[in-house]
């Protein structure tokens, strides 16, 4: 496949002589190019918002968000997925990252795996992907066979398919229901899409998962009230969140969290509404997990 016309493969005149630049000049050139990423992402915010709403509707009905990518793109999907359980208290399978070559490819490059179209389909089948789930295919070039195979399979099931790519008029956009296309221009090192393209993809993935979790009631104000306190830092954060939300003392917050099985969200509702833990849990279920909705009532 000829990739010569892809935006991600073009030569960047701003870094044409970077090999003879001083150290400070090198990092300055990289930084100047990085400044182009946020505006590129800003231009596609309407598409990001549409994607959030599509994913939210599936997850609200019990579906999952599946990321699929290769190389840097695949690793970014996996990274975003594995951060969701501790941050938002969701089961690990609710947001899953698949990458060509499987888990070993996360730490050791297996670039050849990306050329296997059938592997993308097989990996989706292996996780039981269905029409009730949502797929986000990630590839800076927009033409990676592994990702296209997964997208085509997901589309054949009737599932929503979203493309995240940094090249315009891509093959992936022809398969996807919706394309998010932050075009950042040529990379500092020609074709090294782990740089600006990777940064843009990371920014968009952060928005997708975070916005969906906010809509699912995993955030109160701007606090991660559904976090899992799996270490000392997160235990301290849990106490701080309860104190900040309710105005109680540290000891009262600690006791409330313990009574509520370690749940910040339940503890907050119990303290603010004078509920027992069971009453707080029931109120949250009726409010689709949103503390603000409980308090409104």
Q: Is 114 a catalytic residue?
A: yes
Q: What is the CATH number of domain 232-296?
A: 1.10.8.1080
Mean pLDDT of 64-85: 96
Q: Which residue of the set 33, 114, 187, 281 is catalytic? A: 114
pLDDT of residue 2: 62
Half-sphere exposure of residue 106, counting CA atoms within 13 Å on the CB side? 13
Q: Is 7 a catalytic residue?
A: no
Q: Is the pLDDT of residue 1 over 60?
A: no
Q: Which residue of the set 7, 25, 33, 83 is catalytic? A: 83
The residues of the chain that CATH labels 3.40.50.10490 are: 7-215
- Which residue is it, tokens 């949103």? 290
* Report field, pTM of the whole predicted structure over 0.85: yes
Q: What is the CATH number of domain 7-215?
A: 3.40.50.10490
DSSP bridge pairs for 67: 97, 136
Whole-angstrom distance, CA of residue 290 vs CA of residue 243: 18
- What is the end-to-end Cα distance of the chain in Å, rounded? 59
Q: Is the pLDDT of residue 110 over 90?
A: no
Say whether 233 sits in a helix, a strand or coil: helix
pLDDT per residue as tens digits for the range 239-290: 999 999 999 999 999 999 999 999 999 999 999 999 999 999 999 999 999 9
Mean pLDDT of 20-48: 96
């Amino acid at each position: 496949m000829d990739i010569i016309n892809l935006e991600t493969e073009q030569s960047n005149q701003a870094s044409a002589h970077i090999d003879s630049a001083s150290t400070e000049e090198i990092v300055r050139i990289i930084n100047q190019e990085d400044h182009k990423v946020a505006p590129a992402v800003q231009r596609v915010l309407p598409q990001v918002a549409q994607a959030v709403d599509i994913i939210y509707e599936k997850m609200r009905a019990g579906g999952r968000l599946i990321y699929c990518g290769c190389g840097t793109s695949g690793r970014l999907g996996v990274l975003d997925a594995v951060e969701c359980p501790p941050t938002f208290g969701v089961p690990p399978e609710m947001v899953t990252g698949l990458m060509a070559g499987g888990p070993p490819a996360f730490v050791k490059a297996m670039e050849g795996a990306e050329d296997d179209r059938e592997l993308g389909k097989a990996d989706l089948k292996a996780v039981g992907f269905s029409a009730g789930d949502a797929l986000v295919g990630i590839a800076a070039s927009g033409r990676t066979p592994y990702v296209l195979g997964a997208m085509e399979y997901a589309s054949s099931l009737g599932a929503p398919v979203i493309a995240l790519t940094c090249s315009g008029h891509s093959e992936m956009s022809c398969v996807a229901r919706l394309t998010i296309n932050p075009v950042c221009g040529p990379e500092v090192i020609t074709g090294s899409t782990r740089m600006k393209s990777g940064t843009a993809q990371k920014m968009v993935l952060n928005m997708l998962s975070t916005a969906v979790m906010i809509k699912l009631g995993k955030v109160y104000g701007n606090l991660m009230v559904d976090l899992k306190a799996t270490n000392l830092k997160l235990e301290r954060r849990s106490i701080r969140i309860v104190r900040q939300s309710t105005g109680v003392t540290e000891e009262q917050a600690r006791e409330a969290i313990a009574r509520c099985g370690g749940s910040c969200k339940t503890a907050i509702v119990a303290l603010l509404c004078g509920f027992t833990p069971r009453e707080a849990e029931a109120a949250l279920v009726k409010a689709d997990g949103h503390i603000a909705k409980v308090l409104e009532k």
